[in-house]
Amino acid sequence: MGINFNDNLNRMWSDLMCLQTLRNNIAHNFGQLEQSNEYLQNFISKNDNIDIAKDTQEIKFNHRFLKDLVPMFENICLELQSSFQNKDIEL
């Protein structure tokens, strides 16, 4: 049993997992990206407010990136709540 992820929720969840990867690298690798994947590269390339330094693999973001996180989390929560209310649950 679990939530049935529609395309929008699936994309949002993927973004959330990318944020988790970035957070882990900031917290545990002194802000340097140790490992990347296709999803993370796509997330970074579509976001003008975050970048990875080519020479040091240092994660760089500006204040807009942080300001964008609140609406992103709000949208994920609203989408999850909608799935619960609509009983989009796989058995």
Residue 3 in contact with residue 80, Cβ under 8 Å?
Answer: yes
**Given this model, what pLDDT does residue 89 score?**
52
In this structure, the strands spanning 59-61 and 89-90 are unpaired
Structure-token pair, residue 73: 């989390």
Instruction: Give the length of the chain.
Output: 91
Q: What distances in angstroms separate CA 74 from CA 22, 68, 80, one per listed residue?
A: 19, 10, 10
Report pLDDT digits (tens) over 28-69.
999 999 988 889 999 999 999 999 999 999 999 999 999 999
Whole-structure pTM over 0.75, yes or no? yes
Structure-token pair, residue 8: 């929008």
